[in-house]
Amino acid sequence: MHKRKIAENKLVESSNRIYDLYNNAPCGYHSVGNDNIIIAMNEIELKWLGYTREEVIGVKSIFDIVHEKDHFKLNDFISKVKLESVRSLKDLELCYVRKDGSSFDVMLNSTVNYDKAGKSVSTRTAVLDITELKKSQEKIKLLNVELELNNTQLSTANSELESFSYSVSHDLRAPLRAIDGYCRIILEDYYETLDAEAKRVFNVILSNSKRMGVLIDDLLDFSRVGRKETSEILVDHNKLLDEILTEIDIPAKYSIKIDVLENSQADRMLMKQVWYNYLSNSIKYTSKITKPFIHISSYKENNELIYCIEDNGVGFDEAYKHKLFNVFQRLHHNDEYEGTGVGLAIVYKIINKHNGRVWAESKPFEKTKFYFSIPIQ
């Protein structure tokens, strides 16, 4: 008798725990009979609806707590249960109606109970309040629409800017050639009659027209990059750099070290442009160093391949590094180092087309590093 009493107490305790879990679970629970009348409902769902147990159990039909606009969906499920074509239902979204007439969104997961004869006798349902989820989904939809609109506007603006840059650059060539040509004619035909100041002025004009020509070429390259479709293959970066080193005239004083680099999935011609611009940049800004060195390396990090070119050149002030990859932004005067401020902007545009990143860090005259990344596919 003593053992039986202990067993009965344990059974009661266990039943009480299950009852507490049922009533205080983070979701609603209810059971519906074959006649659609609610035969059980936990405290959480009753609280959501604003009813007492006596107002619902054995009194309310499941249709009484579901908004009429969703009766068709609910009726469709019940019809399938009666035809024994379904035994469970997942993620049915319905609109519930509270006692005060207000409504909220829920998600139902139901299981049908059958008797020994195979007849459905009741349906047990877990209910989730998805009001906040629906609000978040609506916000995401609105944000996506706004983002798509912004992307479209940005794409249009970029296309217009590229077309403008191309047209302006192309149209500038003819008058620039005329200026350069006439200056040379005057210098050749009237050289003896010109005084020193006139000769100096004409040489300044020629020098600036040459610089303007370089700028136009860079602008055209910049606009072409924006219009070019990428054609991605497996790129051997060591071979690319070997090709570039044969094309660039590098003084003997340079020490250049290139590690075995990671191959990446990318557009080969565009990657060659990136390395050409980075390498030319390093050579230019180490040209006044007695013993210049350049070190090129790569490594994997998270889901990216990181490429780095390091040198001991003049470097830059870290306070202005946010300007490095902007078009026409230069951190050194043209009298010190020639340039147009387009090369690094082209690098940024190319790497951006590959969904990668560009950045740099510097300790002037000690160590300057320029990076770019390519996502691992």
Q: Are strands 103-114 and 38-41 parallel, antiparallel or unpaired?
A: unpaired
Strands 28-33 and 38-41: antiparallel
Q: Identify residue 168 by its one-letter amino acid code.
A: V
Question: Angle at the Cα of 148 (from 144 to 152), degrees rounded to 5?
Answer: 170
Same domain for 357 and 258: yes
CATH, residue 158 = 1.10.287
Residue scoring higher pLDDT (190 or 165): 190
pLDDT, residue 106, reads 92
pLDDT tens sequence across 199-208: 888 888 888 7
Characterise 46 by phi-psi region: left (phi > 0), alpha (psi -120 to 50), beta (else): alpha
CATH number of the domain that residue 90 is part of = 3.30.450.20
Domain end residue (candidates: 129, 150, 179) = 129
Q: pTM for this structure?
A: 0.50
Same domain membership, residue 125 and residue 47? yes
Distance (Å, whole) CA 241 – CA 246: 9
Nearest to 26, CA basis, from 118, 105, 127: 127
Dist CA 347 CA 343 (whole Å): 7
The pairing of strands 28-33 and 293-301 is unpaired
Last residue of a domain, one of 208, 227, 246: 227
Cα gap 303→287, rounded to integer Å:
36
3-state secondary structure 249-265: CCCCCCEEEECCCCCEE
Among residues 271, 282, 255, the alpha carbon closest in space to that of 307 is found at: 271
One domain for residues 203 and 116: no
pLDDT band at residue 338 using 50, 70 and 90 as cut-offs: low
pLDDT tens digits for range 72-91: 988 888 887 776 667 788 88
Sign of CA dihedral 182, 183, 187, 188: negative
**Nearest partner of 259 among 299, 292, 300, judged by Cα:** 299
Domain stop point among 211, 227, 243: 227
Question: Rounded to 10 degrees, what is the CA torsion of 263, 269, 274, 280?
Answer: 110
Q: Picking from 26-35, 129-138, 317-326, 337-346, which range would have the lowest pLDDT averaged per residue? A: 337-346
Q: Which residue has the tokens 């499920």?
A: 77
Beta bridge partner(s), residue 105: 95
Residue 365: domain span: 230-377
List, for residues 342-356, the tens digit of each pLDDT value. Answer: 788 888 988 988 999
CATH number at residue 250: 3.30.565.10
Secondary structure (DSSP) of 67-90: -GGGHHHHHHHHHHHHTTS-SEEE
**Count of CB atoms situated within 10 Å of the CB of 67:** 15
Q: Which two tokens stand for residue 160?
A: 């217009």
120-138 average pLDDT score: 87
